[in-house]
Structure formats: structure tokens, C-alpha cells
């Protein structure tokens, strides 16, 4: 980025700086889900077409975009804005889950889909969320992890293949 900035004319540098300031000034976390928004409540939370009793929990706003691209989900989201990371000194109490717990405790949410990354930090975060939310009357699901479409079994790493076998589901 530094090399790009050094190559462009000063007028474009000023424009870039102005746009960066606008992002900081006008884009804030949604008051309900923490997704980035220019309004108090983001367009997804405000939409009357979304299922209001299902929440997909993600680590970052970019995860919301990825899920939305599938066209397969029409519930709400809750963005943690991070994950548990022992290496970085971030534990479960550092996560921003108070608004999520409050909504689940109120009884308005019937289903939670935990969609954290399938890495060590994401798995720790998922287990923490399951522990915190399982005391409430809510169905909790973990996003399925497994074999990518179009691949061959022999090329799948053993951890992914093992997880897919452990989490298998019946076909009938």
C-alpha cells in the first residue's frame, strides 16, 4: 500500500485520505449484531424478510458477506468481532457476547448457528459459546465442517476427513 501511495499524484492521496476518514466517521457496528453499518441498525437486522428467531454467530463482518453470497440463509447474524486466542491473550470473557446472551435469554431466539472458523481459535470460541448459551432454551448448531465438493478423498487432509467421519449424518 505504501508503494502505491508513493506512486500516485498528491491529489489522489488527498482523496484517499478523505475516503478513509469517511469510513471511520460514518461506518459503525450495528447496535444489534455488530455488523458494519452506516445506520444504527444494519440493513440485515432491519429487513422484515429475515427470520428473526434464528441467529448465525460469526467472527467478523466479512464472514457475513461470505454466508450471504450462498443465498442459503435468511436469518439474522451476530458478529463477535474476534475470537478466543490464547496466543494473543484473548479469552472468552473478552468476547463481545453480552447483547447475544441478552437476546437468547429473552426467549426471542429459537436457534443459534455457530459459524466460527474451523481453526483452533474458532473451535475454542465455539465451545465457549456452546457453554454460555446451552443454559437457555435454544437449539444450538455448529456449522458443518467437512469435505469440499469436487475433491477426491485421497487428497483430503486427515484432520478434515476425520472430522467429517465423526460428524456424519444419516441420509434417510
| Any domain includes 130 | yes
Paired sense of beta strands 51-58 and 111-114, if any: parallel
* Structure confidence by residue, pLDDT tens digits, 69-117: 999 999 999 999 999 999 999 998 889 899 999 999 999 999 999 999 9
Please give the residue range of the domain that contains residue 97: 46-144+154-166
Query: How confident is the model at residue 172, as a pLDDT?
Result: 66
| Any domain includes 113 | yes
Query: How confident is the model at residue 147, as a pLDDT?
Result: 80
Q: CATH number for the domain including 67?
A: 3.40.1360.10
| pTM (two decimals) | 0.83
Query: How confident is the model at residue 37, as a pLDDT?
Result: 93
| Any domain includes 5 | no
d(CA 33, CA 109): 13
| Any domain includes 93 | yes
Whole-number percent of the chain with pLDDT over 70: 99
Better-predicted residue by pLDDT, 81 or 145: 81
| Any domain includes 12 | no
The arrangement of strands across the sheet holding 51-58 comes to: 75-79, 51-58, 111-114, 139-142
| Any domain includes 67 | yes
| Any domain includes 9 | no
The chain-wide mean pLDDT, for the chain, equals 92
| Any domain includes 171 | no
Evaluate if residue 169 carries a pLDDT over 80: no
Mean pLDDT of 37-65: 96
Q: Cα-flanking dihedrals φ and ψ of residue 65, to 5°? A: -60, -45
| Structural domain count of the chain | 1
* Structure confidence by residue, pLDDT tens digits, 112-132: 999 999 889 999 999 999 999
Amino acid at each position: 500500500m505504501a508503494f502505491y501511495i508513493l506512486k500516485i499524484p498528491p491529489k489522489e492521496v488527498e482523496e484517499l485520505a478523505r475516503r478513509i476518514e469517511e469510513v471511520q466517521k460514518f461506518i459503525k457496528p450495528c447496535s444489534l449484531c455488530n455488523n458494519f453499518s452506516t445506520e444504527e441498525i444494519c440493513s440485515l437486522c432491519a429487513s422484515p424478510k429475515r427470520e428473526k428467531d434464528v441467529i448465525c454467530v460469526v467472527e467478523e463482518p466479512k464472514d457475513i458477506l461470505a454466508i450471504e453470497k450462498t443465498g442459503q440463509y435468511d436469518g439474522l447474524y451476530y458478529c463477535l468481532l474476534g475470537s478466543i486466542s490464547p496466543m494473543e491473550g484473548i479469552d472468552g470473557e473478552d468476547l463481545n457476547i453480552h447483547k447475544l446472551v441478552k437476546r437468547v435469554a429473552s426467549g426471542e431466539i429459537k436457534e443459534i448457528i455457530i459459524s466460527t472458523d474451523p481453526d483452533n481459535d474458532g473451535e475454542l470460541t465455539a465451545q465457549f459459546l456452546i457453554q454460555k448459551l446451552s443454559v437457555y432454551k435454544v437449539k444450538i448448531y455448529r456449522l458443518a465442517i467437512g469435505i469440499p465438493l469436487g475433491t477426491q478423498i485421497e487428497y483430503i487432509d486427515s484432520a478434515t476427513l476425520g472430522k467429517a467421519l465423526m460428524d456424519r449424518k444419516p441420509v434417510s
